[in-house]
Amino acid sequence: MNIKPLLAEFIGTFALVFIGAGAASIGGTLLVVALAHGLVVMSFIYTYGQHSGTHINPAVTIGLMVTGHIKITNAIMYIIMQIMGAITASALLSFILGGSDSGLGATQFNPESLTSTQAIIIESILTFFLVNSIMNTVIN
């Protein structure tokens, strides 16, 4: 397999986590954090779209694999690179921002108002919207 798509997935996922989580952990507002994520995705679609499709999310890669738009072996390699990019970005952010003292990894999840089951259902629905949007705009 060509190394370019694998590097594209690593770098794109690294950027998404580093910039997105970085914006959240330094106290960015909801709008700033949303824009950080959206602008990273947009810029990397333009930068690396021709190399890998810029999945930068295992859910997207799995969706494309299930529908036959990417081979299983390539999907596995993409997912490995996405996980490596996310872990590397998280580790670097933790080092730069001082670990847990920075709020890195903190969420707005309030177990008193939302159960784990409810949170999983919400995440599943939102992931469906993401993959569905990609499948119906980029693929079709």
Q: Give the residue from 14, 10, 8 showing the smallest Cα distance to 91.
A: 14
- Residue 15: its H or E element: helix 3-25
Residue 100, pLDDT score? 62
Predicted confidence (pLDDT) per residue in 124-135, tens digit: 998 999 898 888
Q: What digits encode the pLDDT tens for the residues 47-68? A: 988 888 889 999 999 999 999 9
Coil, strand or helix: which one is 69? coil
Question: Please, are residues 13 and 56 in contact by the beta-carbon 8 Å criterion?
Answer: yes
Residue-range domain boundaries for the chain: 3-108
CATH topology of domain 3-108: Glycerol uptake facilitator protein (1.20.1080)
Q: What is the pTM of this model?
A: 0.84
